[in-house]
Amino acid sequence: MIKVISLVIFYTVIAYAQINQSNTGVWKNSTVSSSPILRVGASSATTNSHQWIVFAGGDETQFFNDLHSLDLTKPDGGWTNITTTNTPSKRAWHSSVIINNKFYVFGGFDKTKNIDSTVYELDLSQQSPSWKTLSSSNAASPRFLHSAVTHNNKMYTFGGMTADSKFFNDVHEFDPSTNKWTQIKTNEGPSPRAAHSATQYADRMYIFGGTASGEYYGDTWALDLKSFTWTKIKTTPSESAVKFPSPRAGAITALVKENLWIFGGQTAGGKSADLWVLSLEGHAWSEVINIRPSNQPTARYSGVAAISPSTQAFNILGGDGDKPMNGNQWFFVVLQ
């Protein structure tokens, strides 16, 4: 089970992975300015103009409710701290999405084990952005370590857990145009879990991994967001020595075209630092091999990720691991 209160050490790391047909490459170091305070359990989403928005999270001693942005078209330009008013309380392991240039936050956990079921909205087009609290009946129950994706200007949440270790596998829809929640009826799908990965692609919400009651999962599921039908995905193995990623929770993921990139996570054997790609078209796994293993980010879980548009770079920020990285920026270069 992922530790959610007693955290060990945290990173502010950005990694870049150039996307092409090769499955080998190298990590390289650089520097980035004005990085957010080292943290784990933040949430993030990317605007249509390629601004990567990161909210909240925590470290060994405190939780945050600050907001930061990075222009993914020039990631070396540094982070910007966005000042807001009426800000939600400090939290970690919440979810966030962007719909019509508005940033929505749901759920989360703080040091006093308070979790709420409020949706918070921030209009990113405002010069001095102010948060709105959206009240609604029939909201999804309070939770953290859940997931959220968007489809047709609506937010869909899956899974998560409570402070007393109740795990969920329910699906809820939130429509920000009406502030209305709807619990979605589906066929039998993934088992209850938290700290899984979720992404939306081709009218489907894909779920990978997660944890519940000390067990780690390595399965992949897809929910059709039109018919609300779950399908368990049969994946094909990588051509590398390791055929499939080990079951894990808190993996750091981002989607580029049809490829889901997955870095790290917490496994039954400890934290991991491996890098995988899952094709959401062919459902085939590929392990991406670092040919200089002495130089790479250390193992971690519960960071956030985004893709740079022009270079197709895989950016990761934060996470809980074993060794401090002093805020280094990383580049993963795939070899032709």
Given a contact cutoff of 8 angstroms between Cβ atoms, the answer to whether 263 and 248 are in contact is no
| pTM of the predicted protein model | 0.91
Say if 2 falls within a structural domain. no
Using DSSP's 3-state secondary structure scheme, residue 307 falls into: strand
Say if 4 falls within a structural domain. no
Q: Look at residue 83 in the predicted model and tell me its pLDDT.
A: 97
Q: Look at residue 8 in the predicted model and tell me its pLDDT.
A: 31
Closest CA to 254 of 19, 67, 1: 19
Say if 3 falls within a structural domain. no
Say if 25 falls within a structural domain. yes
What are the φ and ψ backbone dihedral angles of 273, each rounded to 5 degrees?
Answer: -135, 25
Domains contained in the chain, number? 1
Given a contact cutoff of 8 angstroms between Cβ atoms, the answer to whether 315 and 307 are in contact is yes
Q: Collect all residues with Cβ–Cβ distance below 8 Å to 183 and sequence separation of at least 6.
A: 138, 140, 170, 171, 172, 173
Determine the structural domain holding residue 284 and report its residue range. Answer: 9-334
Using DSSP's 3-state secondary structure scheme, residue 76 falls into: helix
- Show the beta-strand stretches assigned E in 38-161: 43-46, 51-58, 63-71, 79-82, 95-99, 102-106, 119-123, 131-134, 147-151, 154-158
Q: Look at residue 209 in the predicted model and tell me its pLDDT.
A: 98
State the Cα–Cα distance between residues 110 and 335, nearest whole angstrom.
42
Looking at the chain, list the stretches that DSSP marks H as alpha helix, in order from N- to C-terminal side: none
DSSP state of 75: G
Say if 98 falls within a structural domain. yes
DSSP state of 9: E
CATH number, domain with residue 283: 2.120.10.80
Q: Look at residue 32 in the predicted model and tell me its pLDDT.
A: 63
Amino acid identity at 142: P
Both tokens of residue 322?
A: 């074993």
Say if 74 falls within a structural domain. yes
Q: Look at residue 335 in the predicted model and tell me its pLDDT.
A: 42
Tokens 């390791």 map to which residue? 242
Query: Which parts of the chain sit beneath pLDDT 50?
Result: 1-21, 324-329, 331, 333-336
Say if 227 falls within a structural domain. yes
Q: Look at residue 28 in the predicted model and tell me its pLDDT.
A: 58
Say if 237 falls within a structural domain. yes
State the Cα–Cα distance between residues 11 and 219, nearest whole angstrom.
28
